Amino acid sequence: MNRILIALVLVGLGLSACGVSVPEALPYPTQTPYPTYTPYPTQRAIPTARQFSITPVRTPVPIRTQQPIFIDEARDTLEDNGFVYFDQYTDATLSETVTQYAYRYLSVGVFVILWSNDNSTLSYVSILFLFDDDRRTRLEYANRGIEALRGIIADSPLAVLTDLNATFNASPRGRVDRSISGTPYLVAFSKYDDTLTCPAEYSYCHLATFPSITYTGEATFSYYRIDLWITEPIDQEQTP
């Protein structure tokens, strides 16, 4: 897959490591502005999930609710649908304690992250992968993440989500918010760039979750993300 590596000066998510060893790290974006983390030198211990907390993006508050979806059932369904457990993180710095459960589809690099405000029910879902120049590859990856939700989300809204994603995927840029008619679901599609800096004292750095990608100096990685809100979002502030 052709990864976009552009030497730009942007504020970004720090998911890099430096040297020979390849530590694992969560590839999660954060709400703008994105914090930058210092790359890790050779032989540093594997970082914990706590170092890679993310903040939910803002979205309008859904006006309707639905029967709760239990987080344990959603996790089991993801595994039944071919995704494997990657890591989790609990953030108690927000107004509520938020737990993230990350799952990855084999070695392809499609991530599905389950969010829970109460560690009991599902609050919302994120689908994330590195942006690819090829439209068909992007569509394949996004649809794989959407299909992983079958059994968690009803077939009808999943079909609408698939169609909405196909429209965004045809010309992805920035962020687009949509509602799924007849349901309480809100969805945000986004394509954004994320800049990392490799310190001059290291011969190279690599994106820890995608260790085949190495870079020096400043490099920009592009991401494709889908967020689907199941219940009221963590951040209650309205957006225009």
Q: What is the pTM of this model?
A: 0.69
The pLDDT, as a whole number, for residue 121 is 93
Given a cut of 60, whether residue 30 has pLDDT beyond it is: no
The pLDDT, as a whole number, for residue 107 is 76
More confident residue, 8 or 78: 78
The rounded distance, in Å, linking the Cα atoms of 130 and 236 is 28
219 burial (CB, 10 Å; 0-12 / 13-18 / 19+) is: buried
**CA-to-CA dists, residue 93 to 69, 96, 115, 116, angstroms:** 24, 8, 15, 14
The pLDDT, as a whole number, for residue 67 is 77
**CA-to-CA dists, residue 137 to 108, 130, 170, angstroms:** 11, 11, 12
Given a cut of 80, whether residue 189 has pLDDT beyond it is: yes
Q: Could you tell me the pLDDT band of residue 147, with boundaries at 50, 70 and 90?
A: very high
Q: Where are the domains of the chain?
A: 16-229
More confident residue, 55 or 67: 67
